[in-house]
Amino acid sequence: MAGRRPRQTATMSDVAALAGVSVSTVSHVLNRTRAVAPDTARLVHDAVVTCGYVPEKLSRQQREEFGTIGLAMSAISNPYFADVVHGLDRRATKEGYSLLLAETHDDGDAELRAVGELLRRKVSAIVLAPSGDASRTLSYARQADVPVTVIDRFVREEVDQIGVENIESTARLVDHLAETGHTRIAMISGRPGLATTEERVRGYKRGLERRGIPRRDEYLISGGSQAAPAQQAVSKLLNLSKPPTALVVANNQMTIGTMRGLRTLGLRVPDDIALVAFDDFEWSDLFEPRLTAIAQPTLMIGEQAFELSLSRISQPDLPPRRVLIQPTFQHRDSCGCADSQDSGPS
């Protein structure tokens, strides 16, 4: 039986032919030397993944020698990631690695471009906070034989991953509100399609179910993972004929929008409405009311993401690893409890 023929390396010409554009257009898209229409750029990036066109592959020794970790995430739009970057950079510096950040804007096409830029910079490994469906991006990195560690949002692909437990942690927030007597509990959820959004919504529903609280469809509303949509969501919830008496907010950006929305409506937390949130702030215990929240160990996530990347560089045949970290329940004032105080792990 004849052996399998070695796979031919794709070229820019292959990408151009598949995308139906010129080689120069492919070059402009990949090297960002000239503006190209978004639809055309998307065709090129799709063709890149389909063809398997990648920059020159590096050997394991070369990856170790280059000593650069690429980080692809939406650092600008999500302040939660600042501590992740700090933890990752601190560990990388200690081991003699440098960190190269590429902004994804939480958009699939931008994410693919960001990873492509990191690959062209010959990074040793990539840490990725996926914007949603990361299959194209992971396929692209796999073609380049560059290891990827996924953080924050788990994916279906068999890669190294690290993030926090979202379901039971969110259910605990609902439990706590129910224990204080609330039965009209609403949730402002994150952007649809994100793994963290789906898991926290599941946690919200789990908490209601085990407390025997009927679920109201109108009490579950998306805040788009951003402050402005969350502020609009608050207005819709509070204008219902039977508005909620307590809110669960699914990330820190939306908590800011929620607080603005409540202030605009003239409502006070927790006197008029109770509020709990996923994602803590460094200054959550400094403003009134102090925020009851699920706190993610962001520094630890960054540090352990580097450890996973470093071990994958030196041992590429390791089986995929999935690290699930328990966050911490911070019990403060915004839930309306008389005996609130910071508490330990959830």
Q: What is the mean pLDDT of residues 293-315?
A: 94
Is residue 44 a contact partner of residue 112, using CB atoms and an 8 Å limit? no
Confidence (pLDDT) at 34? 86
Tokens standing for residue 117: 């830029």
Confidence (pLDDT) at 109? 83
Bridge partners (DSSP) listed for residue 136: none
Most distant CA pair in the chain: distance in Å? 78
Residue 4 maps to a domain: no
Residue 5 maps to a domain: no
Q: Are residues 120 and 74 in the same domain?
A: yes
Q: How far apart are CA 53 and CA 63, in angstroms?
A: 19
Q: Are residues 150 and 121 in the same domain?
A: yes
Confidence (pLDDT) at 346? 40
Q: Are residues 179 and 283 in the same domain?
A: yes
Q: Are residues 88 and 221 in the same domain?
A: no
- The residue type at 109: D
Q: Are residues 210 and 95 in the same domain?
A: no
**How big is the CA angle at 34 (ends 33 and 37), to the nearest 5 degrees?**
135
Q: Are residues 47 and 141 in the same domain?
A: no
Q: pLDDT band for 59, please (50, 70, 90 cuts).
A: low
Report the chain's mean pLDDT, rounded to a whole number: 88
Q: Are residues 115 and 48 in the same domain?
A: no
Residue 118 maps to a domain: yes
Q: How far apart are CA 299 and CA 49, in angstroms?
A: 33
- The residue type at 270: P
Q: Are residues 256 and 311 in the same domain?
A: no
Q: Are residues 70 and 205 in the same domain?
A: no
Q: Are residues 38 and 126 in the same domain?
A: no
Q: Are residues 172 and 291 in the same domain?
A: yes
Would you give the distance in Å from CA 247 to the centre of its chain? Answer: 22
For the chain, the domain total comes to 3
Count of positions (residues) in the chain: 346
Tell me the CATH number at 90.
Answer: 3.40.50.2300
167-196 confidence digits (pLDDT tens)? 999 999 999 999 999 999 999 999 998 899
Model pTM score: 0.82
Confidence (pLDDT) at 31? 74
Q: How far apart are CA 250 and CA 279, in angstroms?
A: 7
Q: Are residues 246 and 143 in the same domain?
A: no
Q: How far apart are CA 206 and CA 212, in angstroms?
A: 10
Distances from the Cα of 77 to the Cα of 104, 127, 145, 160, 330, angstroms: 10, 17, 29, 24, 24
Residue 1 maps to a domain: no
Query: Higher-confidence residue: 170 or 153?
Result: 170
Q: What is the mean pLDDT of residues 204-223?
A: 97
Residue 42 maps to a domain: yes
Is residue 131 a contact partner of residue 111, using CB atoms and an 8 Å limit? yes
Q: How far apart are CA 62 and CA 286, in angstroms?
A: 48
Q: Is residue 7's pLDDT more than 80?
A: no
Residue 185 maps to a domain: yes
Per-residue DSSP letter, 217: G
- Domain membership of residue 27 as a residue range: 12-52
Query: For the chain, how far is it from start to end, CA to CA, in angstroms?
Result: 58
3-state secondary structure of 73: strand
Residue 3 maps to a domain: no
Residue 242 maps to a domain: yes
Burial of 175 (0-12, 13-18, 19+ CB in 10 A): middle
